[in-house]
Structure 1
């Protein structure tokens, strides 16, 4: 059980780190969101557009703090 939580924390950190890197790239917001969606889909994570926008907003707020 402990190894599962460590793996989940690692994967969560990797996703947040990748998203933060993409958010700081000098591109339009729509292009950035599309890159995030593509990266998540490659890992088997499927989100609706509203879920994805919420996730991007949440990550952006965390990065700004």
Structure 2
């Protein structure tokens, strides 16, 4: 392999296709209606929900 940036001559042509297939195989759409469920979450206590989201964001950014 060459040390030059951008030289991917040793990477098989089908690598991107194989990766895309793997992603599609493990992808799960889930179930339910996010919009309806979100309204239910926010109706309960929007301040508590927003505080939890912000706390989670801070926790993730400190990693």
User: Could you say whether these structures have the same fold, taking a TM-score greater than 0.5 normalized by the shorter chain as the test?
Assistant: no
TM-score w.r.t. length of structure 1 = 0.28
Q: Which has the higher helix share?
A: 1
| Structure of larger gyration radius | 2
Asked which structure has the greater RCO (Cα within 8 Å, sep 6+), the reply is 1
